[in-house]
Structure 1
Amino acid sequence: MRNTEEGEGFEAEASSTSMMSGASSPYQPTTEPVRPGHHRRLQLAWDPDYLRSSFGILKLLEVILALIAFICIETVKECLPCGGLYFFEFVSCTAFVVTGVLLLMFSLNLHTKVPQINWNLTDLINTVVSAILFFIASVVLAAMNQKRGGEIAAVVFGFLAAAVYAVNTYLAVKIWRLGARRQTGGPANEYTRARSESRGEVESRPEVQRLEG
């Protein structure tokens, strides 16, 4: 009887000890279960380095010039004919909106939230199309305007915007070609680079070269 009571007491003490240790164990899960309908908030990360880069500066200039060109053309109240004015108005407004959206996407790193879209190609297409359309719209407006101040100012800022878009296009195409060359290099270039690095390491360590000789 005494052995039975001692065994029962030992089991009760062991169970209470395990309960206490389990309650105070640091390895217990601390994460709360995700509630249905609970979604993560969209975190915006401002990227000042992008605005300091050449592409960020060019894109900011494009937005400013497109906005100024649009404001200048909006000050014109009379036109005859009006086709060139309407076309310039459409080009400047569209370039301002699309380029402004891309500037926000890149500045706030929102493009990383939608990896399904090739943002570099999208930006390149917008830059090329905007440069061509701004140049055509400025030429047409210069040929059809009535020599008013608003139209002349719109033509000037239109040509400036076309020039900035052209520079942006040149840099974007240049970087795109460099990326294409790296991708088409394949394993051969990686092998050549690895071989050159290994040779440089051996030359910097003459004792290894003597052992191998």
Structure 2
Amino acid sequence: MRGNNEDLDGFDGEASSTSMISGASSPYQPTTEPVMQRRALGGYRCDLDYLRSVLGVLKVTQVVLALIAFICIETIMHCSPCEGLYFFEFVSCSAFVVTGVLLFMFSLNLHTRIPQINWNLTDLVNTGLSTFFFLIASIVLVALNRKTGAEIAAVIFGFLATAAYAVNTYLAVKKWMNRQRNARQSNDYMRARTESREVDTRPEIRHLDA
């Protein structure tokens, strides 16, 4: 029995050693799965850096102001004439929905999964149109309203939303111009490098230059 026990002890020792060696040399370590899961879920996590940035804060502000303006206009029960109220209602609701979708896409980095869409241009068009239509809707509502509390509040938040969208439009245009300038400089640099390589690889060109 002792021999059997020694044989079993030796077998256990070899098995444990083998498992330790295989475990050390195996690429499938226990920490691999959580890392892969973190990478897989990383694209859906909330991008706090974006929300803390100027553009992120502006997006949140726009959504909140558009929602409040829409709520204020919805509380008005009587209107005469009603065209200005209906137009303001349409503008505030549309701005809230579209900007809310863009905020959702940007804050979760979902826009990176749809590279076919130029999201910077989409955001620029949205902010530009929202600035224009919120300004027009607020001016029309000022001219046609009956000076009730809800209408005055809607006008105030309408102009605040106009200002938020205008600032966002200015920053978006500035960002787009910077990207265009950087792309142009990069193209010039690559063109200069290509011409330099052609000169280096063609002795006759170097001879003519000399």
Match of 1:105 in 2: 105
TM-superposition CA deviations, 1:19-50 (whole Å, max 9, x none): xxxxx9x99998xxxxxxxxx99961211000
- Map 1:71-86; keep pairs closer than 5 Å: 71-86=71-86
Match of 2:66 in 1: 66
What's the C-alpha RMSD, in Å, of the aligned pairs? 2.2
Q: Which moved more, 1:97-106 or 1:179-188?
A: 179-188
- Map 1:25-174; keep pairs closer than 5 Å: 44-174=44-174
Which of structures 1 and 2 has the bigger CA Rg?
1
Deviation of 1:186 after TM superposition, in Å, equals 3.7
TM-superposition CA deviations, 1:178-201 (whole Å, max 9, x none): 100111124434689xxxxxxxxx
Aligned residue for 1:78, secondary structure, equals: coil
Q: Kindly indicate whether the alpha-carbon contact (under 8 Å) linking 2:61 and 2:164 is maintained by their aligned counterparts in 1.
A: yes
- Map 1:17-32; keep pairs closer than 5 Å: none
The CA distance in 2 between the partners of 1:76 and 1:156, in whole Å, is 15
The CA distance in 1 between the partners of 2:101 and 2:43, in whole Å, is 18
| Structure with higher helix content | 2
The CA distance in 1 between the partners of 2:42 and 2:181, in whole Å, is 36
Q: Kindly indicate whether the alpha-carbon contact (under 8 Å) linking 2:43 and 2:108 is maintained by their aligned counterparts in 1.
A: no
- Map 1:4-23; keep pairs closer than 5 Å: none
Q: How many residues align?
A: 160
Instruction: From the superposition, tell whether residues 110 and 136 of structure 1 become closer, same or farther in structure 2 (CA, over 3 Å).
Output: same
Match of 2:179 in 1: 179
The CA distance in 2 between the partners of 1:87 and 1:190, in whole Å, is 51
TM-score by length of 1: 0.69
Q: Kindly indicate whether the alpha-carbon contact (under 8 Å) linking 2:58 and 2:164 is maintained by their aligned counterparts in 1.
A: yes
Instruction: From the superposition, tell whether residues 45 and 186 of structure 1 become closer, same or farther in structure 2 (CA, over 3 Å).
Output: same
TM-superposition CA deviations, 1:153-173 (whole Å, max 9, x none): 000000000001000000010
* Structure 2 gap segments, 5+ residues each: 1-21, 29-39, 193-210
